[in-house]
Amino acid sequence: MSKSAYETKRDFSRTPEPRGGRKRAGKAPRFVIQKHDASTLHYDFRLEVGSVLKSWAVPRGPSTDPADKRLAVPTEDHPLDYADFEGVIPEGQYGGGTVLVWDCGPYENITEKHGRIVPLAKALADGHALVRLKGEKLTGGYALQRTGKKENGRWLLVKLDDAAADRRRNPVSTQPDSVLSGRSLQDIAAGEAKG
Ligand code: MN
């Protein structure tokens, strides 16, 4: 079996990131948003689809305001094991820098066409997907919409205008730390556990 883009970009003798390979058959699919202090701070938005995490880098992070259209740049599929990774990726490794799990939880595919659910892999291939998140910080519907040409298209991540929409919340700034460990990026970079 040939190496994935994820594997090709990493030296697993040097990075603490997981190699992957684990399957999670039979469980509700999960989403994870990892805050990543690389050369520039961004939020990696990942959805479990089949045996991989489909991934986008969101420079400004997700919003709870339906009026905000957040740029989401596709990145390579990550292994399912990546969903609970927090740590420090060495300099020189792809995407080096400090990572924390900013939010995670199950999600539901709510993409419909003619009254029927469209499988998420197909929805993403078509460039339009709707998901309902059940995280700690983010809940309710989000749209992922590709703009421009398929090959080098950018995507937008936009909150749906539902009961969980909130124009006044700003969780990216008010809830900055890990939902798994309570640690900040600085705590993780310093190798300290909080509390
Ligand atoms: Mn990243």
pLDDT, position 21: 66
Q: Find the 68 Cα to ligand 1 centroid distance in Å.
A: 21
Residue 195, in any domain of the structure: no
Distance 116 CA to ligand 1 centre (A): 34
Instruction: Judge whether 188 lies within some domain.
Output: no
Count: domains in the chain: 1
d(Cα 65, Cα 151) in Å, to the nearest integer? 29
What's the 44 CA to ligand 1 centre distance in angstroms? Answer: 5
Q: Please, what is the average pLDDT of the chain?
A: 91
Query: According to the model, what pLDDT value does residue 195 have?
Result: 45
Query: What is the model's pLDDT at position 14?
Result: 83
Distance 98 CA to ligand 1 centre (A): 9
For residue 46, being part of any structural domain is answered with yes
Q: Answer whether residue 19 is part of any domain.
A: yes
Q: How far is the CA of 18 from the centre of ligand 1 (A)?
A: 14
Judge whether 187 lies within some domain.
no
pLDDT per position as a tens digit, 100-140: 999 999 999 999 999 999 999 999 999 999 999 999 999 99
pLDDT reported for residue 111: 98
Ligand 1 centroid – CA 41 distance (Å): 8
Q: Let me know if residue 184 belongs to a domain.
A: no
CB 95 within 8 A of CB 180: no
Q: Is residue 191 part of a domain?
A: no
Give 137 Cα–ligand 1 centroid separation in angstroms.
19
* The pLDDT of residue 192: 56
Ligand 1 centroid vs 34 CA: distance in angstroms? 8
27: Cα within 13 Å, side-chain hemisphere: 12
Residue-wise pLDDT tens digits, 33-86: 999 998 899 999 999 999 999 999 999 999 999 999 999 999 999 999 999 999
Q: Is residue 182 part of a domain?
A: no
- Within 13 Å of residue 41, how many CA atoms lie on the same side as its CB? 10
